[in-house]
Structure formats: C-alpha cells, structure tokens
Amino acid sequence: MTARLYYNDSLLARFDATVTEAGVLPDGRPFVVLDKTGFYPTSGGQPHDLGRLGDATVLDVIDRDEDAAVLHVLDRALGPGVDVSGEIDQARRLDHIQQHSGQHVLSAAFVHACAAPTISFHLGPDVSTIDLTAVLEAEAIARAENEANRIVQENRPVEVRYASAEEAAALPLRKEPKRGGTLRLVDIENWDLSACGGTHVSRTGSIGGIAVTGWERYKGGTRVGFACGHRAVRHHRLLRDVVIEATRALSVQMSELPEAVRRLQSDSREARQQVRGLTESLAKYEAAELASSAKEIAGHRFVVRVVDRDANGLKLLAQAAAALGPSVVLVSPSRPALVVAARGATVVGPNFSSAVTAFDAKSLVASLIARFGGKGGGRPEMAQAGGLDGDPTEIGAASAEILKGD
Ligand SMILES: [Zn+2]
C-alpha cells in the first residue's frame, strides 16, 4: 500500500520518497512503487498526473487494485531502495482539480435543481461529461448551471474528512459509496457530500466558473458536457473565433447566424433543383443530337460515339438516345474504357423485322470483352462493361465492325 500525499494536500508539487518495488509491465515499460507518493493514479473519472521522479519521466500512474499500491510508469528504470524526489506537473493537476471539483458542484446542482442524479463522470482532454438519469431540456440545464455558478461565486469551503462505513451510512451522501472500509469524504459546505478519492479545491471560488458546453440524449438520460475554470475560457475562445469567422463570411450579426444558415440551405436546395431540371433538359438535347447523328450499318440505324461520362451518365444518355430510335453504343474516353450499348426503340431499314432481332446489346458487349478484356453483362436490350483495355476510338470502330458482321 502506498501512502497518498495528495489525499490531504491536493496542491503538493514536490515530495521525497523511497522506491520500495521496481518492475516491468507486460508491455515492457519499467515502473516503480514508492513508500509514499504525490502522484494521482487514474481513478474515479480523473486522469493520472504527469511529472518526474528523479531523472525519469512519469508516463502513467496506475492504481494496483490487489494491494492499493500506486505504480509509476517511467521512461527509464529506477532501482529498488533508491531515494527519489518527485515533481508533479502542476498545470495539469490544477486543471484536473478545477474539473473534478466543478463536477461535484454541478452534479449536486442537477440533484438540487432538477432531481437528476449523476451516474458517471469522465474527465476528458477538452471537455468533461456527466451522465444523468433524467432527460433534461435546455431550460432545466440552464437552471442547474446557474445554481452551480452561484456555489462557485459564494466561495464555499471544501473539506476532506474520513468516516467509517457505518458512520457514512448515516450521512446524506449524494451517491452510495462503491467501496467499504474507511471512506474519504469531500464536503462542499451545505451543498454536496460525496465519497471520493480525487483531488479538489479548498474553496469553490478556485473552480473559476462552470460552463455547460453541450448535451445529448444518452442511454435513456442526458449526457452533459462541461468545462470549468481555464477550460471554460478556452472553450469560449474557440466558440468566439468560430462565430466571428462565420458572421464575417455571411456578413451578419451573431444573433442572425442561425437564420442566415437556414436561408443558405434553402437557397442551395433550390439551386440544386434547378440544376437537376437543367441537366435533364440538357440530356434531352444531347440525346436528340446523338440520335440525329445515327448512321446506317447493315440495314439499321446506329450511333457509335465516344462520350465523356461516368458509368451512370453513359447509361442514362444511351437510354435516352435509344428511346428516340437508333441503337446506341457509347464508349468513355478513359482507358480502361467503359462501354454501354442500348437497343433502339424503332429500327428503320430495309430489313425491319430481322434488324430488331439482329441487334443484341449483350452479345455486342460480350464480343468487345472477348477482344479488349474487362467485365460486364446485361440484357439484349441494354448491356454495359468496364475495364476494356483499348483505345476508345478503336473500341468504337470495333463495335461498328461487329455490327456490320451481324
Ligand atoms: Zn469525485
């Protein structure tokens, strides 16, 4: 068991200790256990500290459940029995203190203002979250946020004390404690009493302020994001910069932003509809132009053309042109090439009846694949292939030859 100096001094920045155990984790990183430590191990939703132990850098701090030892994972090995001095990254610790104490104040505010208990807490790198059992709307969340900030501004004392499980059972703890034995209690005067092993402020004013950054429905309740102290300012700065950029881009005031975005969305929807309409009419003209260029091959009308379209565009154009009369073979200008063949709606020529049966789009595509490679298929009325390894003009010429041979 490691004596935890942070329990009674959450601002302790330096300490001296002795290495009582030195080992290597399964992942190969060395670790040491000390007789006492100021380093906080990841637990209770609060991440571990960083810092230095002698010449070594502390990379991770782990709570070993079986013997309550604190493992300091290091970038280099330290021998057992050595005396070391520890130095804790204070900026990181202070940030964690603000978030964790802020969480206690905010969770209690949700109980007092909305009767919504917290079931879990996560202290993230930018924002932290608490999960509440109730589904809450903006108004209720703002009420709890106001209450939490009132407690911060009243600068109430925060005390740490210890109680046995029996003593604790008689106390109005916000949450049922998970462990037995002696409990460490964090007491925010006349506001919140919780069993917690985390590091906390000594007065609520040091939390600085509590800002709810967002919320969402989560597992039948609400997940609330928040940022305290320096983080709240950092978050505000981020929002401010985004808003300034958006208001400048749209030439509107901040309060007009949502309306301006809605207007843009509806304008762009309208424009998309117009483009769709115009594209369709354009396709009709293109199809008419294609159909009118049909040439007679072996007694019926054909269009063989290289057209720059994707597979779907080629198919739509071939269908539209074929609907106007001639059979159509379209080849993309890319290499490998795409080919689409469509049987014409009417076949004009001396051998009307034989011509209709003569053009089989599927067998044409199969002949092209046999010659140029690639893959494809379809029906006698409509077939397509891709991956043809040949010059597009050559593929077009080959199609005409195959048609003549029919
Ligand atoms: Zn806590």
Phi, psi at 223, each rounded to 5°: -100, 120
Residue 272 pLDDT: 93
Ligand 1 center–CA 101 separation, angstroms: 7
| Rounded Cα gap, residues 120 and 133, in angstroms | 10
| Rounded Cα gap, residues 359 and 302, in angstroms | 10
Ligand 1 center–CA 197 separation, angstroms: 7
Task: Report whether 332 contacts 392 (CB < 8 A).
Answer: yes
Residue 347 pLDDT: 53
List of the chain residues with pLDDT < 50: 348-357
Residue 60 pLDDT: 98
Ligand 1 center–CA 103 separation, angstroms: 7
Residue 299 pLDDT: 76
Q: Which residues surround ligand 1, an ion (CB under 5 A)?
A: 196, 198
Residue whose pair of structure tokens reads 């001095």 in the numeric block:
85
Q: Report pLDDT digits (tens) over 325-339.
A: 899 999 999 889 999
CB-side exposure of 180: number of CA atoms within 13 Å? 1
Ligand 1 center–CA 15 separation, angstroms: 24
Q: Report pLDDT digits (tens) over 341-373.
A: 999 887 544 444 444 446 889 999 999 999 999
Ligand 1 center–CA 337 separation, angstroms: 65
Q: Which residues pair with 195 in a beta bridge?
A: 185
Supply angle C-alpha 327, 366, 324, rounded to 5. 10
Residue 311 pLDDT: 87
Ligand 1 center–CA 102 separation, angstroms: 9
